[in-house]
């Protein structure tokens, strides 16, 4: 499994300066959405966040199959994404480069926003950007 992922990852070019990252096109009917939790939900942490994607496929980071990408979950992100740069990697931008379609999310009590963005082989958003609606959830106190 590990080897397989490495094999796929090796197909991608990169370590280029970020500004040279090339945009990958997505079908216009691609639809990315958060299956659960739903907008306005009150949840206990940790909770499962499930990712929905129509008219495109999920693959590994580094794998440049057409019309396929991998998920990124944006938590409490306010700044807009730069469409020409790899989606940031930090505690607010969670990457799912192994092709995961759900995640166990652990957040402190209070209101949080969740949003999905699909990234290409090099973690760059597609053109047009494939992005879910941003939802707001409340994490209940323990």
Partner 1 sequence: MPGEVRRFNEGKSENRPPEGLARRLAAIIAADIVGYSRLMGMDEEGTHARVTRYRRELIDPTIAEHHGRVVKNTGDGFIAVFDSPVEAVRCSIVIQQSVTGRSASLPAQQQILYRIGVNLGDVIVEPDDVYGDGVNVAARLERMAEPGSVYISGGVYEQIKNKLVCGYKALGDKRVKNITDPVTVYRVLADPSAVKAARQVRGLVAALAIVLVLAVGTGIGAFWLFNRSEMERQGGETARAPVAPPPSASAPPSAAPAAPGTAAAPTPVVAPAPAGAPSLLSEPEMVMLPGGSFAMGSNEDATEKPIHRVSIRPFAIGKYPVTVREWKVCVAANACAAAVLGAGAEDDRPITNVSWADADQYAKWLALTTRKPYRLPSEAEWEYAARGNTESKFWWGATLSLGKANCKGCGDPYDPAQPLKVGQFAPNPFGLYDMGGNVAQWVEDCYHRDFAGAPSDGSAWLAGDCFTHVLKGGSWRNDPSYVRPASRDQYDTAVRYPTHGFRVARSE
Our finding on whether 140 is near partner 1 (CB under 8 A) is no
Q: How far apart are CA 18 and CA 2, in angstroms?
A: 26
β-strand 68-75 against 57-58: which pairing, if any?
parallel
Decide if residue 141 touches partner 1 (CB under 8 A). Answer: no
Quick one: 14 or 138, whose CB is closer to partner 1? 14
What is the secondary structure of 93-141 as a DSSP string? EEEETT--SEEEE---SEEEEEEEEEE-TTSPBPBS--BPPPEEEEEPP
In this structure, the number of other CB atoms found within 10 A of the CB of residue 35 comes to 14
Nearest approach in angstroms of CB 133 to partner 1 is 26
Binding mask 49-78 for partner 1 (x = CB under 8 A): -----------xxx-x--------------
Residue 69 or 135 with smaller CB distance to partner 1: 69
Number of residues that bind partner 1 (CB under 8 A): 36
Which region, judged by CB under 8 A, interacts with partner 1, from 11-19, 29-37, 72-80, 129-137?
11-19
- Contact call for residue 98 and partner 1 (CB under 8 A): yes
**73: part of which helix (H) or strand (E)?**
strand 68-75
Q: From CA 95, how far away is CA 113, in angstroms rounded?
A: 16
Binding site for partner 1 (CB under 8 A): 2-7, 9-20, 22, 60-62, 64, 86, 88-91, 95-98, 106, 108, 122-123
């Amino acid at each position: 499994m590990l080897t397989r992922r490495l094999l796929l990852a090796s197909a991608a070019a990169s370590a280029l300066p970020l500004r040279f990252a090339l945009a990958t096109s997505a079908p216009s009917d691609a639809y990315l959405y958060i299956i659960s939790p739903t907008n306005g939900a009150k949840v206990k942490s940790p909770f499962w966040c499930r990712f929905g994607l129509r008219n495109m496929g999920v693959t590994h980071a580094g794998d440049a199959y057409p019309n396929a990408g991998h998920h990124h979950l944006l938590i409490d992100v306010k700044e807009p994404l730069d469409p020409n740069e790899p989606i940031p990697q930090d505690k607010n931008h969670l990457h799912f480069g192994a092709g995961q379609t759900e995640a166990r999310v652990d957040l402190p009590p209070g209101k949080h926003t969740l949003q999905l963005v699909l990234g290409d082989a090099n973690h760059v958003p597609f053109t047009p950007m494939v992005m879910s609606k941003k939802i707001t959830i409340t994490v209940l106190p323990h």
